[in-house]
Amino acid sequence: MTAPLSQSLASLGLRRSSADIDDLVARATKERWSPTQVVENLIMLETDDRSQRSLERRTARSRLGRFKTLADFDWAWPKHIDRPLVERLMTLEFLQASRNVVLLAPQGVGKTMIAKNLAHEALRTGHTVIFTTASQLLLDLGSRDTSRALDLRLRHYARVSLLVIDELGYLSYDQHSADLLFQLVNRRYEKRSIVITTNLAFSQWGTVFPNAACATALIDRVVHHCDIVSIEADSYRRREAAAAVTKRKNDG
């Protein structure tokens, strides 16, 4: 009976309503919904479906990948971490204020995990996000062979609500790469937020961009409006690896 109606809804692009119309009609009949209630439920179905599809599209474009949630974070492990600050950042107030976030910590203590949780929360609340490593970002920008191509790619990274740059400090880059990163940071400065994870204090960023004249200006723009999360801890990965070895010995 509802097949023609389902087809009509599908032709209008109302995919979720088209798929669920039989159940909706049955429920409306059973509960004696008014016409207004029927329309309200159709709208709710479509709104929820489109929100979910939008989240899926933005998540795919973000290149976020898999990650552990903060529920799995062992707050007792670090020797030092400002938990209230991390929890405040998860409210995304920094996005509204166009503030940056720098997660400063040794390798393997959870800074990327926190950055990915911030990115996921931004996606979940309707924002656009790009998650990339510093090396991937600079390789991408550096591969553009014309000024126009570079400008288009800089716009790509500049227009998203949140840009997350992971692993800054693990490799060194030349003057050209430093200039590219400065251009991007400058385009987002006081307009949109950047989250950076790094293993180096700001005083050591010169080793990442040796001889780069723009290094100081780059740091100034990053830290001008910035929340800094410093984590002091031994590596989670080494702890987990040692625990796995111990478990195998005990099982054997």
Query: CB neighbours of 76 closer than 8 A, spacing ≥ 6?
Result: none
Residue 248 has pLDDT above 90, yes or no: no
With tokens 């490593």, the residue in question is: 133
The pair of structure tokens assigned to 216 is 């100081």
Query: What are the structural domain ranges in the chain?
Result: 3-60, 70-238
- Read off the pLDDT of residues 114-157 as tens digits, 9 standing for 90 and up: 999 999 999 999 999 999 999 999 999 999 999 999 999 999 99
Handedness of CA 213, 217, 218, 219 (dihedral sign): positive
Give me the pLDDT at residue 59, please. 87
* CATH (residue range 70-238): 3.40.50.300
**Does the structure show a pLDDT above 80 at 250?**
no
pLDDT digits (tens, 9 = 90+) for 15-42: 888 888 888 888 889 999 998 998 898 8
Q: Environment class of residue 19 by beta-carbon count within 10 Å: exposed (0-12), middle (13-18) or buried (19+)? A: middle
Q: In this prediction, what percent of the chain has a pLDDT beyond 90?
A: 60
Across the chain, the runs of DSSP E, i.e. the strands, are 100-104, 129-133, 162-168, 193-198, 226-230
The pLDDT, as a whole number, for residue 245 is 52
Span 70-125, pLDDT tens digits = 999 999 989 999 999 999 999 999 999 999 999 999 988 999 999 999 999 999 99
Mean pLDDT value across residues 222-237: 89
Task: State the average pLDDT over residues 1-25.
Answer: 81
Of 233, 234, 224, give the one whose Cα is nearest residue 102.
224
Is the pLDDT at 206 greater than 80? The verdict is yes
Residues 229-245: what's their mean pLDDT? 72
Mean pLDDT of the chain: 90
pLDDT for residue 48: 81
Answer whether residue 1 shows pLDDT above 70.
no
pLDDT band at 13 (very low <50, low <70, confident <90, very high): confident
Average pLDDT over residues 200-226: 89
**pLDDT for the residue 10:** 83
